[in-house]
Amino acid sequence: MAQEDYDALKYRKWIKLNQSSNNNDSNISIMTYNLLSRHYIWKHVYDQNNPKHLDWAKHRFPLINQTIRQLKCDIMCFQEMEYYVYKRFWSKKFPNDKFKSFYIQKSSAQFIPTDLTDGVGIFINTERFDILDEIKINYGQEILKNQNKYSLTNDLISRVIPRNTVGLILKLYDKKFNKILYVSNTHLYWSPKFNDVKVLQTKLLLNKLESSRKELDSTVIFLGDLNSNYDSDVVKLLRDGQLDSTTSKEFKNHKYGLNNELMDSNGIVQNPFSLRDVYETLFDNCKLHFTSFVSRFSDVVDHIFVSDDIEIRQVLGEVDPNYCASKNGKGFPDGQFPSDHIPLVAEINYKSI
């Protein structure tokens, strides 16, 4: 495929979810996209992929650039964004000079980052939004800096604190509608052996978001690669508003104390926000089979959650199942999709507009 002929939407279609408003000028487009850092191209995962489709300079980087420019959402959130590539190519005037970017790189007490180490970024269309504040959070460091707020159990010290996972929150002012939005982006720890840690990382980010949010009528957008599917405790916490750690199998044999910043005296992990996943309707109707697709794994692990004041107009649908069947299970990246994740994209607006 000639790169100038590349169309990121060739095997995906827009799905309308709500047509109550015809005012397209009020829409806000948002995206979350895991770019697949070169650092994580592990042979045992990508051994069935065509080597030319794993080539960063000649294939993946150009197609990722074209995908981002084609979608060009008002709010674009990225995971596995390498620090060097961000600073060298994406930190300024990308995808055009109307955008401003923010970034946090992964790090921990046990892990010294290099230029190849990835992080998460948020890119904002400044024609639509003013950026009022930026809040960075490294989950392990957050606990170490506020030790009196937590129960420093062996599990907290050995399982949560060493992880180098990070999150990023921006406070935005919508100049068109005089609204305040808080956008949070994260990439939770990957291993299924640490599903309890993912819940606690989510709780740490929710706490930071709650303490930073001064306007009770402001909009909240919580998204990223959560490394958690619809049956997970992470999604249950975000969707249902709470999680009982005493009955969760993921917390069995793990102790994090009670009556602290992570859980109450009954072991309940609370979500202070009322949120819904913009892709849940598609998933419930078997119209979203994966957001990440590799030879030995495919599942919905990327999510966009929004607060109750938001109406979901449309979302970018799943990859054509016929195209996926033609892959014979080899997964992405391939000639069409330059990452092992697909970008999730939604158009939303305010219910009161």
* pLDDT tens, position by position, 289-309: 999 999 989 999 999 999 999
Extract the tokens encoding 305.
């959650």
Of 185, 349, 208, the C-alpha closest to 273 is: 208
Q: What does the radius of gyration of the chain's CA atoms come to, in whole angstroms? A: 20
Query: 348 to each of 19, 26, 79, how far by Cα in Å?
Result: 11, 8, 21
E strand or H helix that includes residue 274: none
Domains of the chain: 3-350 (3.60.10.10)
CB 167 within 8 A of CB 186: yes
What is the structure's pLDDT at 22? 57
Three-class DSSP category at 9: coil
Assessment of whether the complete model's pTM goes beyond 0.95: yes
pLDDT digits (tens, 9 = 90+) for 86-107: 999 999 999 999 999 999 999 8
pLDDT digits (tens, 9 = 90+) for 186-208: 999 999 999 999 999 999 999 99
β pairing state of 302-307 and 275-277? antiparallel
Extract the tokens encoding 326.
């033609």
Of 31, 35, 38, the C-alpha closest to 12 is: 31
CB 224 within 8 A of CB 303: yes
Helices 233-240, 195-212: inter-axial angle, 10-degree rounding: 30
Residues of the chain whose pLDDT is less than 70? 1-3, 19-23, 109, 353
